Structure 1
Amino acid sequence: MRTVLVVVACVCVVLAAVVARSDVGPRSLVACAVVSVTKALGRPDTHAVPADDPAAVAVARRELDQQSWLGRVVFLAPALSHIRTVEGTVADTVPVRCYVHPSNHQALRDVVVLIHGGGFVVGSPDSHDHLAREMVEATGAMVVSVDYRLAPEHKFPAGQEDVVTVLNTLATLAEANEQQHPSAPVNPRSIVVLGDSAGGNLAVTSLLRAHLQSLSLVHKHVAGMLLAYPTVHTCHHELYQSFARYGQGYRLTAAAVACTSMQVTHPAHPLLSPIEAPAPLLAALPPAALVMAEFDPLVDEGVAFAARLRDAGVQADSRVFPGTIHGFVSVPLDHHDEAMSFLASSATAMLAR
C-alpha cells in the first residue's frame, strides 16, 4: 500500500509540474518533474546540501553524477565515445581529465579549460563528461576538465586557487611553445575557459585572481571566457527579479541558491561576487560569450554582468534562450544544441585571435 501511495503521489506531482510549468520546453518540463518526484521520494536536493552533514554531501555528489548520466540517456545524447580521455594532475596537486579528438594529431593544441558547476559543493568531471566531449567534437580543441576542491571541506579560495594553478601552468606552457620549446604532453597554443553556474563564477574570478597576483602569462594566453548561466552576485541574489520570479519550480530553486552561498566564506568578496568588482579590474578580463536560461533564478544577474563587462570595455556577447531552465548546457535539454553551437563558435573565434 505504501508503494502504491508513493507512486500515486509521484504521478500527482508530475501532473502538477506539467500544469504549472507549461511555459518551459518539453525537455525542461521533464527535468522539472524529475526534481519534483525526487523531492517527493525524499531524495536529497543536489543543489541544497547542508554543510554540517558530510553523509548528505557525499550522497548529493553521487546523485548529481548519476542524474547527469541519466539525462544523457533519457534524451538520447550521442555517446561520443571516440573522444580519448587521459587522467592526470597539474603541478602535482590538481586532478584533471584531458579530452582529445582522435583526429587531432597537432603538436600544439588549442585548449578549453572546463570548470564544472554544482554550487561549489557538488559536481565533477563525471557530471560534465558529456559537455567536455561535445566541446571537443565541436571545436577540435583539447578540453582540460578541472577536478577542483569543493566546499564545505575546502572553502574559498581553495577551488579558485586550483583553477588559477591550472590556468597559470597551461599559460606557462603556451609561452614556452611560443618560444619554440614544446616541453610537455599538453602543449597549448591558445586557451579559453568554460564554466557553468558556479563554474562560470570560478572562470571569471580565477582570472581576476590571476590578474591581482600579476600572473601576466594567464592574461596573455587566455583568449576568452565561455559562461553558462554564471552565478556572479553570491551575496545579493535577492536584488534581481528573476530570483523571486523563477525561484521555485524551475529545477534550481532560490532556497538552493541561498544554501550554496552559505557554503563559502566572504560571499561579498569581489573574488566571489565579480559583478561587484571595480571596472578597472573587470577591464582586465578577456572577451566573453554568455548563455542564460529564461526560467532561471540567476538569469537577471547574468544579463547584468554582461552589461557590466561591456561598460568596462570587455567584449561580451550574451544570449538568453527561451523556454530553458538552469542546467540546459550540461544536460541536453531544450535549446541545448543551439547554445552549444553558440559557445563552440565563440570558442573557435576566440582561439583564432
Structure 2
Amino acid sequence: MSTPLSSAEVRASVPLAGFTTLRLGGPAARLASVTTAGDLVDAVRGADAAGESLLVLGGGSNLVIADEGFAGTVVRIATAGRRFDRLGDGVVQLTVEAGEDWDAVVADAVHHGLGGLECLSGIPGLVGATPVQNVGAYGVEVSDLLVSVDLLDRRTGRVTTAAAAELGLGYRTSVLKGTDSAVVLRVRFALADGGMSAPIRYAELARVLGVEPGERVPAEAARGAVLELRRGKGMVLDPADHDTWSAGSFFTNPVIGEDEFDVVRGRVAERLGADVPVPIYPAGDGLVKLSAAWLIERAGFRRGHHGPGGRVALSNRHTLALTNRGGARTADLLALAREVRDGVRDAFGVELSPEPVLVGCAL
C-alpha cells in the first residue's frame, strides 16, 4: 500500500460489517486505523496523491455499505483527546478530536457541570460526524452549540479552521454532507457552566421531566430522561437487541413548501378522512416539516413490518429505524427502504430521503 501511515495498522480484505451499527457491508480492500490527527492527515493526503479510492470511517452509525464492500482504502478514525477552556461569562469551550465516542463526550460534559449537549445523549457514532450531519434530537442540534471545526481540505491538502457559520448547517445537513472534499479532524463547542440544561424545547421530553417547554433542568436529569426515551425506541445500542441493529432514523423528516403541504393534506383527507390532522413543525419562511414516522405509519407500515425473508424489518419500537434481524444483506435493507419510500410517495405524494450515507449503493 502506497499511502504513508506512520503508525497505523493496515489490513487487507477486512469485512466492514463489524464497523457499522447495522452490521452490514462487504469487505474493504485495505483498512487502516489512525490514532492521531497527524496520521489521519498523512493517510488522506497519501491516498489522494496516489489516486486511490478512499473512505474515511467513523463510528459507522450513519452508514450503509454495499454488499460488495469498498474496493479502495478505508481509513478508520480512532483519534482521541478533549479539552475544556473557560472563556468567561459562564461559557466553556470544549475541543474534541474527531475519533472520540460521541455519547462518552456528552456524558463527560454533563459530569463537568456543562449544559447544552445533554439532549443529544445516546446518539451512536463519533464526534467528527456530528457537524457533517448537524446531528439533532429532542429539540437540540449541533448547530446550536458548534463554534468551529478543523478540517483537512482534500482539494488543497491544507488543514484549515472553519467557523460554524461557514458550514451551511441546516436540518440534518451541512456543506460537508454528501461530499468527500474535506475530513473533520476536531470539533469545538460552546457550553454553559452551572450544571443546567439548555431550555427543554421538545414536548415529549418536557412531559417526562415534568416541566413546561422552555424551562431548564439539571443537565444530568435531562440526559437521564433522553436516554430513557431513546431506549424505549430501540435507539441506544445493545448487541443483544436486534431492534438496535440499525442506522438510527433511516429517513429524514421531509421539509416541504406550504403549497405542497396543501396537496399532502388533501391526500391525507382522501385516504384517512377529512378530520385527521397532519402534524407539522416550523421549518422557516414558507416551509413546514412533516413527521416521517407519521407518514410511514399512515401509509400502512407498522412497527415490525418485515422486509425480504424477515431478515430485515422496521423496528418493533420505532418505524423510522430499519433493522437487521440477523443474517441480512445490504440488498435486503435497501429493498425494505424502497418499499417504505415508495409506499409513502404513493399514499401522500411525499418523497422520503435517506439519512445515512450510502456507500457503493443507492435507493
TM-score, normalized by the shorter chain, greater than 0.5: no
Structure of greater relative contact order (alpha carbons < 8 Å, 6+ residues apart): 1
Q: Per residue, is there more strand in 1 or in 2?
A: 2
Q: Per residue, is there more helix in 1 or in 2?
A: 1
> Under a length normalisation based on structure 1, what TM-score does the superposition of the two structures give?
0.29
> Under a length normalisation based on structure 2, what TM-score does the superposition of the two structures give?
0.29
